[in-house]
Amino acid sequence: MQKADYLDISRASDIKNRKKRILYRLLEMLPGIISLGTLAGVFAFSWVLPSWIAIFIICFCFYYLFKVLYFSLHQIVGYFKIKNHIKTNWLKKLKAIKDKNWKRIYHLVILPHYKENSKIIKESLESLFNSDYPKENLIVVLAVEERAGKEFEEMSRRIGRQYVHKFFKFLTLVHPKNVKGEIAGKGSNIAYAGKEAKKLINELNIPYKNVLVSTFDIDTKIYPQYFSCLTWYYLTQKNPQNASYQPIPIYNNNIWTSSFFARVVCTSNTFWQMIQQERSERLTTYSSHSIPGKVFFEVGYPFNVVCDDSRIFWRAYFYYDGNYRVVPIYYLVSMDVVDSPNIFRTIVNQYRQQKRWAWGCSEIPYVIFNFLNNKKISFAEKFSHVYALVSGYWSWATAALLLFVLGWLPIFLGGKKFNFTVLSFNLPILTGRIMTITLVGVMVSAILSTMLLPNVPKGTKSIKKITIFLQWIFLPITLIIFGSFPALDAQIRLMLGKYMGFWVTEKIRK
């Protein structure tokens, strides 16, 4: 297989060589084996070797404590960086760059959509139009799925006619359905839109180095200086074309009308991204982000995977033999909290969204397999990336269960001999105190969540702000139901070869 063939792998069956196909299939089983093995081992050894498991649980609680304190520090640092970025006049900073002509930089914005209503689409387009970057440098592509039906195709064209004169160029495209080799979803839509946009870029004779491609979820509303900030980063980086650019997603569009548990899940995701920004060596692209035109057109956007947002990073990383990175931008883009007409549907949709995100565990076999076939990347770098991926998805699937559910198992299963030991007596006391200290992290999240809120809209009671603070008491339950369970679900599916398709999150505005 050539390197290009390795980049296009979406599952084991894509590999023709039998030995390599078996290897990839074993790697697909790895995340589930590690997570389920951990949970099963805690059960089994709590009965056979309760003292060992008690020590393991205490050590894990201490590890989690230090991790929470470490992450809380990054959250605080990240928050102040965000506030500083929001206050900065990025257009003024651009104009101050003497040796670079920022006006040559064009932004190609791709907005894939399915069955979202016109209000959501227009609000996203309005945020582009209201940005401070010159509109004569913005090229917008609105890409609807053919499988959405004629009604949504016509709606997309109607919106396109309203905005066609507000930007330098505006394309309205229909992504064909049932294309062989594609997974129907956001990735294949963006890949198709990118190929069509490339024709326009070529016709306009715009050099790829002067193009930045932003791939946004349809509900993404940018903050006013996003493109100016992005352009400044692009023009001031060393090797700017060997990097993607990642803003911080914040879920403020409909936060005042959404359910408490959905707010906790989405805000936790924002904080996780803030933490990841501080560890840029482990950062991969996520959700709405920006890519240099040269990379986007040369490497090709993934069309056959569910987690296209992270896969485009890994494709570029392996295409350039490790000479690729993600530059963190502490500027915000706002998206929707999961919301549905009733609470039951919201719970189901939130779980399904988390499971789709957790399907990112499928990157583990992809990354390891490509590392095994790429001799140009150092072992230290390979180990660092693999460890970050494996430990991250293992923690996602098991940490909440180990902390809040399984910590008492040695007492229940250890028998009378263990229960009369000093260790048995001190286990719940020690773990309880450690977990009490970790509430510091919860308090930090609660405080920062209120500080990142938009203004209270008219008709909304001010007490809502207090409930958004108090909602964090439900974090342990949320971490299990919308964290561990969907992560285990995804890993078990991958282990059994029950591959997921792309599920589009329902988006409504009340």
Cα distance between residue 329 and residue 261, in whole Å: 28
Are 119 and 195 within one domain? Answer: yes
The CATH number that applies at residue 120 is 3.90.550.10
Least Cα distance to 234 among 151, 301, 295 occurs for 295
For 53-67, how does the pLDDT look when each residue is reduced to its tens digit (9 = 90+)? 888 888 888 888 888
CA dihedral 326, 329, 330, 334 (to 10 degrees): -100
Predicted local distance difference test score (pLDDT) of residue 208:
96
Are 135 and 277 within one domain? Answer: yes
- Domain presence at residue 80: no
Are 168 and 232 within one domain? Answer: yes
Are 112 and 213 within one domain? Answer: yes
Are 31 and 156 within one domain? Answer: no
Q: Give the percent of the chain with pLDDT over 70.
A: 95
Are 239 and 150 within one domain? Answer: yes
- Domain presence at residue 379: no
- Domain presence at residue 79: no
The better pLDDT of the pair 330, 403 is held by 330
- The number of angstroms, rounded, from the C-alpha of 7 to the middle of its chain's C-alpha atoms is 20
For 334-345, how does the pLDDT look when each residue is reduced to its tens digit (9 = 90+)? 999 999 888 899
Predicted local distance difference test score (pLDDT) of residue 198:
97
Least Cα distance to 261 among 371, 141, 140, 350 occurs for 350
Binning pLDDT at 50, 70 and 90, where does residue 463 land? confident
For 54-105, how does the pLDDT look when each residue is reduced to its tens digit (9 = 90+)? 888 888 888 888 888 888 888 899 999 999 999 999 999 999 987 778 999 9
Query: Counting beta carbons within 10 angstroms of the beta carbon of residue 178, is it exposed (0 to 12), middle (13 to 18) or buried (19 or more)?
Result: exposed
The answer on pLDDT for 414 being more than 70 is no
241, amino acid identity:
Q
Query: Counting beta carbons within 10 angstroms of the beta carbon of residue 402, is it exposed (0 to 12), middle (13 to 18) or buried (19 or more)?
Result: buried
Are 342 and 215 within one domain? Answer: yes
Q: Which residues of 460-496 are buried (b: 16+ CB within 10 A; e: fewer)?
A: eeeeeeeebeebbeebbebbbbbbbbbbbbbbbbbbe
Cα distance between residue 285 and residue 215, in whole Å: 11
**For the chain, what is the mean pLDDT?**
90
Q: How many CB atoms lie within 10 A of CB 48?
A: 11
Binning pLDDT at 50, 70 and 90, where does residue 489 land? very high
Are 295 and 169 within one domain? Answer: yes
Predicted local distance difference test score (pLDDT) of residue 4:
63
- Domain presence at residue 20: yes
Residue with tokens 């603070």: 469
The answer on pLDDT for 1 being more than 60 is no
Global confidence as pTM: 0.92
Least Cα distance to 268 among 357, 342, 185, 348 occurs for 357
Does an H or E element contain 413, and which? helix 409-413
Q: Are 271 and 445 in contact (CB under 8 A)?
A: yes
- Domain presence at residue 342: yes
Cα dihedral sign for 81, 279, 374, 31? negative
- Domain presence at residue 75: no
- Domain presence at residue 378: no
H, E, C per residue of 239-275: CHHHEEEEEEEECCCCCCCCCHHHHHHHHHHHHHHHH
Predicted local distance difference test score (pLDDT) of residue 244:
97
The better pLDDT of the pair 365, 262 is held by 365
How many structural domains comprise the chain?
2
Are 137 and 279 within one domain? Answer: yes
Q: How many CB atoms lie within 10 A of CB 159?
A: 19
Predicted local distance difference test score (pLDDT) of residue 101:
86
Q: Are 253 and 224 in contact (CB under 8 A)?
A: no
Q: How many CB atoms lie within 10 A of CB 35?
A: 25
DSSP symbols for 305-347: -S-HHHHHHHHHHHHTTT--EEEEEEEEEE-PPP--SSHHHHH
| Domain that includes residue 210, residue range | 94-361
For 296-312, how does the pLDDT look when each residue is reduced to its tens digit (9 = 90+)? 999 999 999 999 999 99
Are 160 and 263 within one domain? Answer: yes
DSSP secondary structure letter of residue 183? P
Predicted local distance difference test score (pLDDT) of residue 446:
83
- Cβ neighbours of residue 417 closer than 8 Å, sequence gap 6 or more: none
Predicted local distance difference test score (pLDDT) of residue 24:
97
Please give the average per-residue pLDDT across 100-111, as a whole number.
94
The answer on pLDDT for 227 being more than 90 is yes
Does an H or E element contain 152, and which? helix 150-163
Classified as helix, coil or strand, 125 is helix
Are 335 and 201 within one domain? Answer: yes
Gyration radius (Cα) of the chain, Å: 24
φ, ψ dihedrals at 210, nearest 5°: -100, 15
Are 53 and 100 within one domain? Answer: no
158, amino acid identity:
R
Last residue of a domain, one of 344, 361, 378: 361
Give the strands of the sheet with 243-250, arranged side by side: 169-175, 138-145, 106-113, 211-215, 289-292, 243-250, 325-334, 221-222
Binning pLDDT at 50, 70 and 90, where does residue 505 land? confident
φ, ψ dihedrals at 185, nearest 5°: 160, -165
- Domain presence at residue 103: yes
DSSP secondary structure letter of residue 484? I
Cα distance between residue 416 and residue 41, in whole Å: 21
The answer on pLDDT for 422 being more than 80 is no
